Amino acid sequence: MVTNTPDLIGLLRKMILIREFDELAIRLRKAGKIYGVVHPYVGQEAMAVGVCANLTNADRVTSTHRGHGHCIAKGADIKRMMAELFGRVDGYCKGKGGSMHIADFAVGMLGANGIVGGGLPMATGAALAAQLDGKGNIAVCFFGDGAVAEGEFHEALNISSVWKLPIVFVCENNQYAANNAVGVQHQVTDVALHAKSYGMPGLTVDGNDVLAVCEAARAAVERARRGEGPFLLEGKTYRWHGHAVRATPPPETRPAAEIAQWKERDPIAHLAADLIARRLLSESELGSLHRQVQADLQEAVAFADASPFPDPKDILVDMFAAPA
C-alpha cells in the first residue's frame, strides 16, 4: 500500500522526532548515560521520512551507521531504541548491538550497519526474497555517498538490474564520507549518474525537501512494486553535526559558512513554514507537536533507565539458532 496523500503533519512530526531523538542522544552521550559512538542523523531527516512514507512493514530496509532516522521512519519504537543505546535488556538487541546495530525485523528494518556499504548486499537479498514472494513488496537500501566508493555498491546495482529486483537504492549524499568531502573521493559527484552504467533509472532530488523526496521515492517504489526493476535515488543533503559523537570527537573540519548555509535549508523548518503558509498548521499546533515529541522522548528515557542491564551470565545467548 502506497500512501497516495502523504500525511503532511505526520511527516513533520516524524522529522521532528528523529531530530530531537538524536539531539537527545548527543546530550546523553556527552553526559555519559550512553556509551560508544553515536552518528547523528540531524539535518538529513527528510530522506528517511520521505522515502519510508511509501513503505509498509512488509517492505524491508537496510540502514547505515547513521541509522536512528531510518529506524524511526520505518516505525521502530523509540523506547526500545533508547533502551538499546542505554545497553539494557529491553533494547532491540538486548543491549548487544548499541547505536550502530539497531534492527527491528517486525517492522521490516533489517538493521543499521557499522560497515560503509555493508547493508547493500543484504538489501539486495531482501529484494530477491520479495521477488520470489511475488506479493509486490520491495526493499529499500539506504546508504551514503561514501558507500559509492565501495565495491558492494557496484555489485549490488549490477545484479539488481540483471535480475530486475524490486529495490530502491537511496543514496543520502550528505557531501562527506566521514570527514572527507565528496569531491575528493569521487570523480562523479552526482551519484544518480551511476544508474546509467547499470541500466536503471536514476534521479537526484533535493534531499532536504521531504515532499520532493517522497514524490520521487513514490515513483521509484511503485515501479519496483510493478516488477519493473531497481531505481537509484539520490538526495543531496547535509549532516549538521560531526561524523560521530564519542567521548572525544574530532574537531569539525567543514567550513563554518557551508554548515550555516545548509542550516538555512533546514528540512523541518522548511516543511513547517510551508504548512503554516498554506494554513494546514498553526504556530500553536506546531508548538504542541514539539511538546508531544519531548514528552515521548522523556518516556523513552524513563523506559530505558528503568530497564535492567543484561546479566553477564547470558553472554552466550543468541549466538546460534535452535535446531530447526
Partner 1 sequence: MREISYAQALDEAVAEEMRRDERVITLGTDFTGNPIKEFGPARVRYTPISESVLTGMGLGAAACGYRPIVNWRMVTFSFVAMDQIVNQASKIRYMFGGQADFPVTYRCGVGGGMGSAAQHSQSPYSMWMHVAGLKIILPATPADAKGLLKSAIRDNNPVVSFECSRLNAVVGPVPDGDHTVPLGIAEVRRSGTDVTVVGLAYYVQEALAVADELVGEGISVEVIDPRTLVPLDVETIRASVRKTGRLVIVDEAPPTCSAASEIAALVVEDRATFRALKAAVQRVCAAPVPVPYSPPLEKAALPDRAGIIAAIRRVIDF
Binding residues for partner 1 (CB under 8 A): 60, 62, 91-97, 101, 103-105, 110-111, 113-115, 117-118, 120-130, 132-133, 139, 151-152, 155-156, 158-159, 162-163, 317-324
Strand, helix or coil for residue 181: strand
Comparing CB distances to partner 1, the nearer of 9 and 159 is: 159
Q: For residue 279, what are the contacts with CB-CB under 8 A and spacing of at least 6?
A: none
DSSP 253-288: -S-HHHHHHHHHT-HHHHHHHHHHHTTSS-HHHHHH
Residue 55 beta carbon to partner 1: minimum distance, rounded to whole angstroms:
14
Task: Tell me whether residue 162 or residue 306 sits nearer to partner 1 (CB atom).
Answer: 162
Q: Shortest gap between Cβ of 271 and partner 1 (angstroms)?
A: 32
Nearer to partner 1, 255 or 308 (CB): 308
Least CB distance to partner 1 at residue 128 (A): 5
| Nearer to partner 1 among residue 277 and residue 321 (C-beta) | 321
Complex with partner 1: residue 64 or 113, whichever CB lies closer? 113
SS3 236: strand
Helix-strand-coil percent breakdown of the chain, rounded to 5?
50, 10, 40
CA distance 119 to 84: 20
CB of residue 103 vs partner 1: minimum separation in angstroms?
Answer: 5
Query: With the CA atoms of 219, 150, 184 and 39 taken in that order, what torsion angle do they form, in degrees rounded to the nearest 10?
Result: 80
Taking the complex as a whole, the smallest distance from the CB of residue 101 to partner 1 amounts, in Å, to 5
